Structure 1
Amino acid sequence: MAKAYWIARVDVHDPETYKLYLAANQIAFAKYGARYVVRGGAFECVDGTSRSRNVVIEFPDLATAQACYASPEYQAGLVHRKAASVADVIVIEGYEGPQPGAQSPTSFRH
């Protein structure tokens, strides 16, 4: 079963309120087995648009990632994020198929 991820791009305009969100989301993340893959950090936008903060959170599978987002624990903290920031968030299933170097480039399908 493929892992799943939340990919979030965030611009924070109220850091103090955003801290309330960060504290609250830890409850849901612990309950649903979340693991930070990317949490802030230096980045370079090499194409397209960006936001000031980027986060990738790994979950055991897509159903768990979706359940975490919909959970009462996460929703309770989400009100703080919405009050303190503008964000784009997707929940996406991971990929477990062939990887570069494993096949010829012409055999890959998107």
Structure 2
Amino acid sequence: MPYGYVIAQIHVTDPETYAEYIKLVLPTIQHFGGEFIVRGGKSESFEGIPPGDRNVIIRFPSYTAAHDWYHSSEYADAKKLRMSASTSVQTIVEGV
């Protein structure tokens, strides 16, 4: 079964609130079998203007697991914090 990946390009606007989000999000990701593949770090854009300066990739056991995590009640409170502390583009992709 192909993995599901959440790919996020994030621009943090409120670092203190975003730090609270980081603390809340990890248990929700683990609950759905997810793990971070990329979590910030050095990056370079080759084409276009990226919507954020922070890149995150989370791998889940399946596309469905990634989708269910994003729309879950477990993630809802953390998601509200993230949305208040940043702007982002969030995408779920099926992959190998």
Q: Say whether the fold is shared (TM-score over 0.5).
A: yes
| SS in structure 2 at match of 1:55 | strand
Letter in 1 for 2:74: E
The answer (yes or no) to whether the contact 1:4–1:93 under 8 Å persists in 2 is yes
Structure 2 stretches lacking a partner, 5+ long: none
Q: How many residues align?
A: 95
| SS in structure 2 at match of 1:86 | strand
Greater relative contact order (Cα < 8 A, sep 6+): 2
- Cα offset, 1:76, TM superposition: 1.2
For residues 11 and 18 of structure 1, the distance between their equivalents in structure 2, rounded to whole angstroms, comes to 10
Partner of 2:35: 35
Query: C-alpha offsets along residues 25-71 of structure 1, whole Å, 9 cap, x if unaligned?
Result: 11211101111111101011110111210000000001100111111
Runs of 4+ in structure 1 deviating by more than 4 angstroms, as ranges, are none
Aligned residues with identical type, % of pairs: 36
Structure having the larger proportion of residues in strand: 2
Structure 1 stretches lacking a partner, 5+ long: 96-110
For residues 24 and 84 of structure 1, the distance between their equivalents in structure 2, rounded to whole angstroms, comes to 13
The answer (yes or no) to whether the contact 1:27–1:74 under 8 Å persists in 2 is no
Which structure is larger by alpha-carbon Rg, 1 or 2? 1
For residues 74 and 89 of structure 1, the distance between their equivalents in structure 2, rounded to whole angstroms, comes to 14
For residues 16 and 90 of structure 1, the distance between their equivalents in structure 2, rounded to whole angstroms, comes to 24
For residues 26 and 38 of structure 1, the distance between their equivalents in structure 2, rounded to whole angstroms, comes to 13
1:77 aligns to 2:61 (yes or no): no
Superposition TM-score, scaled by structure 1 size: 0.83
| SS in structure 2 at match of 1:33 | coil
Superposition TM-score, scaled by structure 2 size: 0.95
Over aligned residues, Cα RMSD in angstroms?
Answer: 0.8
